[in-house]
């Protein structure tokens, strides 16, 4: 309910011309009503990943976003997305060793605002899918809040939780064995060849392949609509 009011307030700001065009286009698209009965095969998913300067979403910044889309269970290579961001905050040494992006790489990147416009245009009202989605969504939300005072309104699914739900049922406590659901381990378990690991587009392509396999497992368990997939 609060969500709905928030969306309506934002759309009013659009009508008053207080928000950029891209942002408003996005807000209109996510305003379409959620259709739980829609078959999964007709839904558009955007599988995305971010690389950041660190793991604190208050002080750290996104330095790259990669994404690929799926229509149902089919990955469309053409409908993919990649952006490098220029940031003032430098990466912690640890993070550099993970994603391998140095300052001089990101200097040639987009400014955060432009990257956000492009990403929102690309995203539209797709269902967001990401591995450990909470973190990536929170990072994007920080950007959106900082520049436009909005956040993401898309439906979202975390592949780690989805895998857990399919393998162990909904009430399994993930906390003490979280390692089993790391992207590397899941890829290995589902026979997906690892490459381009720890680049945002590379990880998103891997996550998409994982999602394909999870959807196939889910289909056998009767998960065939978006509503069943998102437990709504």
Radius of gyration of the chain (CA): 18
Comparison of 57 and 223: residue with beta carbon closer to another protein: 223
Site string for another protein, 180-199 (x = CB under 8 A): -----------x-x-xx--x
* Under rule CB under 8 A, residue 212 binds another protein: yes
Q: Is 59 exposed, middle or buried (0-12, 13-18, 19+ CB in 10 A)?
A: exposed
* Under rule CB under 8 A, residue 69 binds another protein: yes
* Under rule CB under 8 A, residue 76 binds another protein: yes
Q: Using CB under 8 A, which residues numbered 83 to 142 contact another protein?
A: 118, 121-122, 124
Quick one: which of 53, 159, 209, 225 contacts another protein (CB under 8 A)? Answer: 209
Buried b (16+ CB within 10 A) or exposed e, 202-227: bbbbbbbbbbbbbbeebeeeebebbb
* Under rule CB under 8 A, residue 45 binds another protein: no
Quick one: which of 1, 9, 78, 175 contacts another protein (CB under 8 A)? Answer: 78
Q: Is 144 exposed, middle or buried (0-12, 13-18, 19+ CB in 10 A)?
A: middle
Comparison of 148 and 211: residue with beta carbon closer to another protein: 211
Comparison of 28 and 44: residue with beta carbon closer to another protein: 44
List CB contacts of 92: < 8 A, sequence separation 6 or more. Answer: 53, 54
Do the Cβ atoms of 26 and 124 come closer than 8 Å?
yes
Do the Cβ atoms of 138 and 145 come closer than 8 Å?
no
Quick one: which of 80, 91, 106, 154 contacts another protein (CB under 8 A)? Answer: 80
Does the CA dihedral 104-109-111-115 come out positive or negative? negative
Quick one: which of 13, 36, 79, 138 contacts another protein (CB under 8 A)? Answer: 79
Quick one: which of 160, 205, 218, 226 contacts another protein (CB under 8 A)? Answer: 205
Say how far apart CA 24 and CA 6 lie, in whole Å: 14
CA atoms within 13 A on the CB side of 139: 21
* Under rule CB under 8 A, residue 218 binds another protein: no
In angstroms, give the least distance from the CB of 3 to another protein.
25
Residues near another protein (CB under 8 A) are 44, 66-69, 73-82, 118, 121-122, 124, 191, 193, 195-196, 199, 201-202, 204-205, 208-209, 212-213, 216
């Amino acid at each position: 309910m609060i969500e709905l009011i928030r969306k309506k307030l934002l759309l009013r700001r659009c009508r008053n011309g207080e928000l950029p065009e891209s942002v408003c286009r996005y807000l209109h698209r996510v305003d379409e009503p959620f259709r739980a009965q829609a078959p999964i095969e007709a839904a558009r998913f955007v599988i995305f990943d971010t690389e950041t300067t660190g793991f604190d979403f208050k002080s750290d910044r996104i330095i790259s976003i990669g994404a690929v889309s799926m229509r149902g269970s089919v990955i469309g290579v053409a409908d993919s997305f990649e952006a490098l961001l220029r940031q003032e905050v430098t990466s912690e040494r640890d993070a550099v060793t993970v994603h391998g992006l140095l300052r001089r790489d990101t200097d040639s990147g987009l400014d955060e605002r432009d990257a956000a416009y492009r990403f929102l245009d690309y995203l539209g009202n797709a269902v967001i899918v990401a591995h450990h989605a909470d973190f990536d969504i929170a990072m994007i939300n920080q950007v959106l809040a900082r520049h436009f005072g909005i956040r993401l309104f898309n439906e979202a699914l975390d592949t780690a939780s989805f895998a857990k739900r399919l393998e162990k049922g909904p009430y399994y406590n993930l906390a003490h064995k979280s390692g089993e659901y790391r992207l590397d381990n899941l890829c290995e378990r589902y026979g997906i060849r690892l490459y381009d690991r720890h680049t945002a587009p590379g990880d998103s392509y891997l996550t998409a392949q994982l999602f394909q396999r999870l959807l196939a497992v889910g289909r056998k368990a009767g998960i065939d609509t978006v509503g069943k997939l998102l437990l709504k």
